[in-house]
Structure 1
């Protein structure tokens, strides 16, 4: 298990990953990680927010399907 510490940096609160943790998790400065609380209360940290990616894909499919309808509405 890896324990991380929340620290205050100015007006922000940051999660500090030491060098060994970054190496173990293959993370670099500037990487985006997604934090989510699961149904059973566990906090999960991952590189990809699969829920977000799925929502974006559904949104794009919706817009593609109804593109002409939206164009017609915009032209009204």
Structure 2
């Protein structure tokens, strides 16, 4: 019976408006190559920030932990 009821007009208008907002944000972020969008670990939260900051933080973490090795020649050292 719930499927047969029409959606209220106000709710339809709101849904269309919010859809347009989401689409405009998606298009804006897609055009901006200087912005990084990543999902954070073990959560449903997104990180949105400058690509330069993201690269800097990743490099700092790699230097601090010494757990990672940057591949510069395109060949993985693990394949040997």
TM-score normalised to structure 2 length = 0.29
Higher CA-based Rg: 2
TM-score normalised to structure 1 length = 0.30
More helix, by proportion: 2
More strand, by proportion: 1
